[in-house]
A and B are shown apart, each in its own frame.
Chain A
Amino acid sequence: MPHHTDPNTAEAGSLSRPPSKGDILFDTSFRWMTLAFTWATIFLLGYIVFKIGGQALPAISQYGFKFLTTTTWDVNAGQFGILPEIWGTLYSSFLALIFGGFFGVSIAIFVTQDFLPKSVELVLKNLIELLAAIPSVVYGLWGIYVLIPIARPVAEVLHSTFGWVPFFSTSLSGPGMFPAAIVLSIMILPTVAAISQDALRSVPLKTKEAAFGMGTTRWEAILRVMLPTASGGIFGALVLGFGRALGETMALAMLVGNSNQISLSVFAPANTLAALLALNFPEAGPHEAAVLMYAACVLLLITLLVNIAGAALISFMGPGGRK
C-alpha cells in the first residue's frame, strides 16, 4: 500500500496500482464461488426431485400405476389409492381459478385502465398485495371460525332450491370444498392481479390511443383491444395462480374436510394431495411414509408441469402479449 514502495507502482501514494497477488487470488476464488453456487441451485432442484423420488421408489414399485386410479386409503389393509386426492386437488384449484381469476383480472383492469386517481390506484394495489402477506394458516383459522358459519346458511339455501344441480347436491355440514375453494381463491387473487397488471401495463399506449381514436367506449377498448393484446400475460397469470392453488396446503388441510371421496358437489367434504400429506405424514409409519412420498411425487410432477407451462407462457408470449 502507499507506505512502502512497490516496484510496480509508478509513484508511492498513487491511487492506481496493478492488482496484487492477493487481489488476483480473491478475484479468482470469488468468481469460482459464484459459479459454484449457481451450479448448487441446479443441483438443489435436482436433489429435491431425486430425494423425494428415491423415498417413493419402494411404494412406486409396489403399487405402480394402480395407485393413481384407485380410491381406497386403508393403512391396515395396506391398500392405497389417491384418485380422490388428485380429483380434489384439481377440482379445488379449478374452482379457485374461476373465482380468483375473475376477481383478479377485474382488479387488474380496474387498477390499470384509469378508473381511479393514481393515489387511490396505489392504495388499492397495496391492499391487494397485503392479502398475499397473510399466512395461509391464518386464513385457515379465519375460514373455520368466520367463513364456514357465514357459508353454511348460504349453502343451505342453494342446496334446497338448486339441489338437482350436481354442484349443489349435498348440504354443507361444516368443512368442505366450498369454503376451501373460497379461501384458495383469496390466496391466488394477488398473484393473478399482479401479473395481469404487468401484462395490461405493458400494452403500448399507442394501441389504446388508436382504439379510442376509432371512437370506442372505454369497455369496448378494454374488451376488444387491451385484453386480447395482453392475453398471453393474463393467461400465464392464470396458469401460475392455478399452480399456486395446487400446492397450497394449510388452508385446505384445515377447511376441506379430509374425506376420501369424489363428488361434483361443492358442499361435500373432499381432500387434496397437499392436505393428505400434511395430515398423515406426522403420524405415518415407515411404510405409509413411503406411500405418502409417492403422493408427494405426484404433486411435485403436477405442480412442476403447471409452473413450467405458466412461466413459459409469460416468457414466450411476453407480458404484453404476442411477440
Chain B
Amino acid sequence: MSDMKKQDILPNLERQPFEPRALKSIVLSTITVICALIAIVPLFSVLVMLLYKGGKRLNLEVFYSLPPTAFDLGGGFGNAILGTLFMVGVGALISMPFGVLAAIFLAELGSHSTVAKVARFCAKTMTGLPSILAGVFAYAAVVLVMGSYSAWAGGIALSLLMIPVVMLTTEEAIKMVPNPMREAAFGMGCTQAQSMTKVILPVALPSIITGVVLAVARAAGETAPLLFTALFSDYWLRANEPTASLAVLIYNYSGMPFENQIELAWAASLVLVLLVFVLNMISRAIGRRTRIK
C-alpha cells in the first residue's frame, strides 16, 4: 500500500529514452546538425569552384599582362591587382591615423564625454552603412570636385569603410591594456601623450594591427564603392585616371559572353579570395600570439 502511494507522488526519475520529450530532443538535435552542415555547403562549393575554374586559368601570365580585348585569347589582370593594392593602401593610410587617434580619445582621454558617446555611435552607424553609399558619397565629394574618376577617389571611398572598423577595434584594444601599466606610467611622471605613445599603444599594437588588417581585407573585396569612383581601365595604374581593380574586373567580366573573360573572372576571384584569406590568417595569427592577459 505505502509503496503504491510513494510511486503516485514521485514521478519516475529514470531516463526514458523513447518518451515523447526525449524523442523531440533527438529530432531537434538532428535538425540542427543538418542545418550546420547545409550552412557550410556554400563555403565548400565556392572554394571548390574557385580552385577548379580559377586554378585552371591561373598562370604567371595573368599577373603581368593587361586585360584582353573582346575576342582576344590570353591576357591577365596585372593592372587590376596593382590597382586593388594601391587603392587599399590609400584607404589604409587615411583610415589608420584617423581611426587610431579618434579611438585614443574614445578609450582613454574622454571616454565618458558626450562627444565620445556621439562619435562612438556615429562609428557604429557607419559600420552598417551600405558600401555603395560610401561610393555615392565619394563620387559626390571627390569625383565631381576633381572632375575625373581616379584611384584616389577609390581609396577615399574605401577609407570610409575602414575608418569605423579601425576605430572600434583600436578602442577595444586600448581598453584591454591593464590599468597598472597606466598607473605605472603616470607614477613615473609621464604626460598623457607620453603614456599613450610609449606605454599603452605599444602594448595594444598587435590588437590594433589585427583590426587594421581585417579592415584592409574587407576593403580589398569591396566592389560597389569602386564602381562610382575608380571605374575600370585596361591600362596600367595612373592614379589620377580611372583605375582597374580585381573586384570590378570580376563584376565586369562575369556577364560577358566570351569564355576567355569568364575564365579570367574566375581566376581573378581565386586571387582575390586568396588575398583576403591570407590577410585574415595574418590578423588571426597576430591576435592569437599576442593576446593581452
The residues of A with any CB-CB pair to B shorter than 8 Å are 15-19, 23-24, 26-27, 30-31, 33-42, 44-45, 47-48, 51-52, 54-55, 102-103, 106-107, 109-110, 115, 124, 127-128, 130-131, 133-142, 144-146, 186, 189, 215, 217-220, 240, 243-244, 246-250, 253-254, 274, 277-278, 281-282, 292-293, 296, 299-300, 303-304, 306-308, 310-311
Contact of B98 among A15, A37, A243, A281 (CB under 8 A): A37
Interface of B is mostly: helix
Nearest CB in chain B to that of A24: its residue: B191
Known contacts A52-B136, A138-B273, A248-B130: A35-B32 contact under CB 8 Å: no
Residue contact B227 to A278, C-beta cutoff 8 Å = yes
Residue contact A217 to B25, C-beta cutoff 8 Å = yes
B14-70 contacts to A, CB under 8 A, are 21-22, 24-25, 28-29, 31-33, 35-36, 38-40, 42-43, 45-46, 49-50, 53
Instruction: Please measure, in the bound complex, the distance between the C-alpha atom of A240 and the C-alpha atom of B125, giving whole angstroms.
Output: 11
Residue contact A38 to B119, C-beta cutoff 8 Å = yes
Can you list, as one digit per residue, whether each of B133-165 has a CB less than 8 Å from chain A (1) or not (0)?
110110111000000000000000000100110
Known contacts A26-B193, A31-B192, A311-B124: A250-B102 contact under CB 8 Å: no
Interface of A is mostly: helix
Chain A CB within 8 A of B105 CB: yes
Chain A CB within 8 A of B210 CB: no
Give 11 A-B pairs besides A42-B118, A127-B40 with Cβ atoms closer than 8 angstroms: A19-B189, A19-B191, A38-B116, A41-B98, A136-B224, A138-B221, A142-B46, A249-B224, A253-B251, A254-B254, A304-B129
Nearest CB in chain A to that of B24: its residue: A219
Chain A CB within 8 A of B110 CB: yes
Chain A CB within 8 A of B255 CB: yes
Give the shortest distance, in Å, between A198 (CB) and chain B (any CB): 14
Which residues does chain B contribute within 8 Å of A217, judged by CB atoms? 21-22, 24-25
30 A-B pairs whose Cβ atoms sit less than 8 Å apart in the complex: A27-B194, A30-B193, A31-B192, A33-B101, A37-B105, A38-B106, A38-B115, A38-B119, A41-B119, A42-B115, A42-B119, A51-B140, A52-B136, A103-B35, A103-B39, A107-B36, A110-B32, A110-B36, A135-B222, A136-B221, A138-B273, A140-B251, A186-B42, A246-B130, A249-B131, A250-B223, A274-B132, A274-B224, A300-B133, A307-B125
Give the shortest distance, in Å, between A168 (CB) and chain B (any CB): 21
Residue contact B128 to A131, C-beta cutoff 8 Å = no
Interface size on B, residues (CB 8 A): 88
Contact of B126 among A45, A127, A186 (CB under 8 A): A45
Chain A CB within 8 A of B80 CB: no
Give the shortest distance, in Å, between A42 (CB) and chain B (any CB): 5
Contact of B188 among A16, A145, A278 (CB under 8 A): A16
Chain A CB within 8 A of B196 CB: yes
The 5 closest A-B pairs by CB, nearest first: A247-B130, A135-B221, A307-B128, A30-B193, A34-B105
Known contacts A47-B141, A219-B28: A308-B130 contact under CB 8 Å: no
Give the shortest distance, in Å, between B292 (CB) and chain A (any CB): 20
Give the shortest distance, in Å, between B273 (CB) and chain A (any CB): 6
Residue contact B250 to A138, C-beta cutoff 8 Å = yes
Chain A CB within 8 A of B204 CB: no
Residue contact B140 to A293, C-beta cutoff 8 Å = yes
Known contacts A52-B133, A138-B50, A293-B136: A144-B254 contact under CB 8 Å: yes
Instruction: Please measure, in the bound complex, the distance between the C-alpha atom of A244 and the C-alpha atom of B127, giving whole angstroms.
Output: 10
Contact of A135 among B104, B125, B160, B276 (CB under 8 A): B276
Residue contact A281 to B227, C-beta cutoff 8 Å = yes
Residue contact B35 to A107, C-beta cutoff 8 Å = yes
Determine which residue in A33, A34, A42, A249 has the highest number of CB atoms from chain B within 10 A of its CB, and name it: A34
Residue contact A249 to B136, C-beta cutoff 8 Å = no
Nearest CB in chain A to that of B118: its residue: A42
Chain A CB within 8 A of B247 CB: yes
Instruction: Please measure, in the bound complex, the distance between the C-alpha atom of A23 and the C-alpha atom of B189, giving whole angstroms.
Output: 11
Residue contact B122 to A41, C-beta cutoff 8 Å = yes
Residue contact B32 to A106, C-beta cutoff 8 Å = yes
Chain A CB within 8 A of B77 CB: no
Which residues does chain A contribute within 8 Å of B32, judged by CB atoms? 106, 109-110, 115
Residue contact A110 to B33, C-beta cutoff 8 Å = yes
Nearest CB in chain A to that of B97: its residue: A37
Determine which residue in B32, B110, B115, B221 has the highest number of CB atoms from chain A within 10 A of its CB, and name it: B32
Residue contact A311 to B132, C-beta cutoff 8 Å = no
